[in-house]
Structure 1
Amino acid sequence: MLKTRVITALVLLAVLLPILFLLPAFYIGAFFLAALLAAAWEWSTLLAPQARWAAWLYALFCLAIILFLLGMQNASWQFALLLLSVIFWFFVAPFILAKGIDLSLQKLRPFYVVLGLILLPATWFSLVFLRELGLVFLLTSIALVWVADIGAYFVGKAFGKRKLAIQISPGKSVEGAIGGLVLSYGYALLCVIYLPFESTLFGAWAIRFGWVAMFLMVTVLVAFSIFGDLFESQLKRLAGVKDSSHLLPGHGGVLDRVDALIPTMPIAALLAGFV
């Protein structure tokens, strides 16, 4: 399993790194689009595993929404989509997560169908927007999620005792979440100190609003990266599956890899808009 995970990761890096550093920004947008459409396909298969043909239509519908909003050439429409996504994560997702697995996927299927058509396109637009602010701006924003996840994993493994959401994800602990947050604070601090202020979200917030506001922002982003992870885990448990798909050997599905980005990137994009 470890060998398979490593091989898959190396192949993805071999594709992604040249796109990031050697090709125009259009190509990274195309890469993100392919990833989000794959995630949309997986989202549909979780909701209706027997209707594989519907999953392809669902991915095409996500693509149609993205192309329509691009064709409108009206930033306010894209902003509205991001805002809808952020409103969901702040005001609806906590109540859904609080239910654990005491939910009926069959009854909620129409809700999840519509929800995916908001969250997934919003994630793509936020990634593209952050890339427009600069490659370093994009990468440091994404890396915050990875740092939080790495910190949570190792601290949770070493010191985790109190379960964060035992019904949804028994492996996650309160201690791990705190460890991930503390490591994220250190990461953001290093970004502010060693990178130009305007080149990262953390530096831009520190210079505009001060250190306290910057650390509060990091807290919010890390908290919602955990929300995204838990939300996808909850959906998989309701669907009765371990992974969203087997598209990435050794890693599960694309949705398994981007779940924490789905809430954090739209929030980061809106926060970047303030500065």
Structure 2
Amino acid sequence: MLIQRVLTALVLLPMLLAAVWFLEPPALYAVFCVAGLLAMWEWAGLMGAPASTTTGRAVVVAICAVALLVAWFFRQHAVWVLAAALLWWLYVLLALLRGYPENFQHARPQASAMLGFGLLMVVPTMLGLWVLHAMPEGALRVLFLFFLVFAADTGAYFAGRRYGRRKLAPSISPGKTVEGLCGGLGLSAVWTLLAGPFVFGLQTPLAVLPLLGLCLLVAGFSVVGDLCESLFKRAAGIKDSGRILPGHGGMLDRVDSVLAAAPTMALGLIVLKI
């Protein structure tokens, strides 16, 4: 399993870096949309019948494709889509995660609601990545975001293994701990302080503080994205969303943290004017 994970990463990482660095924003949006549609195919599998059938999944993916196309034509108003995504992730944090499993035992979301949930996760993410890439030094900003999410995940893993005692969300993801969360936020802060001034052209320590606050928020929301997918997988009784990435599971398993992080980061940079 570990060898599969490493080999898959060695193949995908150079492709991702090359796409971010060399493609123009419209082309990169199209590439990211392909990943988003694959994730939406897997999300349909969590929705239950009839969406989980092959025909149902195709319909869900087609609806998402139309939504992504509409979002592209109205990309100049992306801030409203990003704001809607932020409200969605706040709802996930305050209502879905905090209320699980009682909220699902009382009334599990219907397929129509699940479709809306999926669109709120995928469409703003792809638009948020386009917004980041279209900014000055956009390729660096997108890569900064990816490594920020990686830092949050890596710091949480090692801090959780070494110091983890208190469960963060035992009914959703028993392996996650409060200490792991703190470790992830700590490594995210280190990454921001080291790379942030260079990527965003910040000249003074005081100018880095708003970016640091934003990045800690983004790192925290990346955990919310991870827990959100874990919640819906647990409710559906499955371990992985798919098998498209050997050793890693499905596309949704790999992008769950980015789904919450990307729109939050893009909106934050717009608001802070960084």
TM score, norm. by length of structure 1: 0.89
Paired AA for residue 57 in structure 1: V
Question: Does the 8 Å CA contact 2:225/2:256 hold for their aligned counterparts?
Answer: yes
Question: Hey, what does 1:156 align to over in structure 2?
Answer: 160
Question: Hey, what does 2:24 align to over in structure 1?
Answer: 24
CA distance in 2, matches of 1:169, 1:215: 27
Question: Hey, what does 2:10 align to over in structure 1?
Answer: 10
Distance 1:187 1:111, change over 3 A: same
Name stretches of at least 5 consecutive residues in structure 2 with no aligned partner. none
Question: Hey, what does 2:230 align to over in structure 1?
Answer: 233
Percent of residue pairs bearing the same amino acid type: 35
1:55 to 54, 57, 73: 57
After superposition, residues 95-244 of structure 1 pair within 5 angstroms as 95-102=95-102, 103-104=104-105, 107-109=108-110, 110-133=112-135, 134-193=138-197, 195-198=198-201, 203=202, 210-244=207-241
Distance 1:235 1:92, change over 3 A: closer
Distance 1:245 1:57, change over 3 A: same
CA distance in 1, matches of 2:7, 2:54: 28
Question: Does the 8 Å CA contact 1:169/1:230 hold for their aligned counterparts?
Answer: yes
Shift of 1:93: 3.3
Distance 1:92 1:149, change over 3 A: closer
Question: Does the 8 Å CA contact 1:228/1:263 hold for their aligned counterparts?
Answer: yes
More displaced 10-residue stretch of structure 1: 14-23 or 37-46: 14-23
For the residue of structure 2 that corresponds to 1:260, the secondary structure is helix
For the residue of structure 1 that corresponds to 2:168, the secondary structure is strand
Question: Does the 8 Å CA contact 2:85/2:124 hold for their aligned counterparts?
Answer: yes
Question: Does the 8 Å CA contact 1:156/1:179 hold for their aligned counterparts?
Answer: yes
CA distance in 2, matches of 1:122, 1:238: 24
Distance 1:33 1:44, change over 3 A: same
Question: Does the 8 Å CA contact 1:105/1:238 hold for their aligned counterparts?
Answer: no
More displaced 10-residue stretch of structure 1: 150-159 or 50-59: 50-59
For the residue of structure 2 that corresponds to 1:75, the secondary structure is helix
CA distance in 2, matches of 1:162, 1:176: 9
Question: Does the 8 Å CA contact 1:104/1:238 hold for their aligned counterparts?
Answer: no
Distance 1:105 1:124, change over 3 A: farther
CA distance in 1, matches of 2:21, 2:81: 29
Shift of 1:106: 7.0
CA distance in 2, matches of 1:258, 1:266: 13
Distance 1:259 1:74, change over 3 A: closer
For the residue of structure 1 that corresponds to 2:247, the secondary structure is coil
Distance 1:181 1:169, change over 3 A: same
For the residue of structure 1 that corresponds to 2:143, the secondary structure is helix
Question: Does the 8 Å CA contact 1:101/1:237 hold for their aligned counterparts?
Answer: no
More displaced 10-residue stretch of structure 1: 95-104 or 245-254: 95-104
CA distance in 2, matches of 1:19, 1:5: 21
CA distance in 1, matches of 2:108, 2:91: 20
Name stretches of at least 5 consecutive residues in structure 1 with no aligned partner. none
Matched residues, number: 266
Shift of 1:12: 1.3
Question: Hey, what does 2:269 align to over in structure 1?
Answer: 272
TM score, norm. by length of structure 2: 0.89
Paired AA for residue 142 in structure 1: F
Provide the alpha-carbon RMSD of the alignment.
Answer: 2.1
Paired AA for residue 108 in structure 1: P
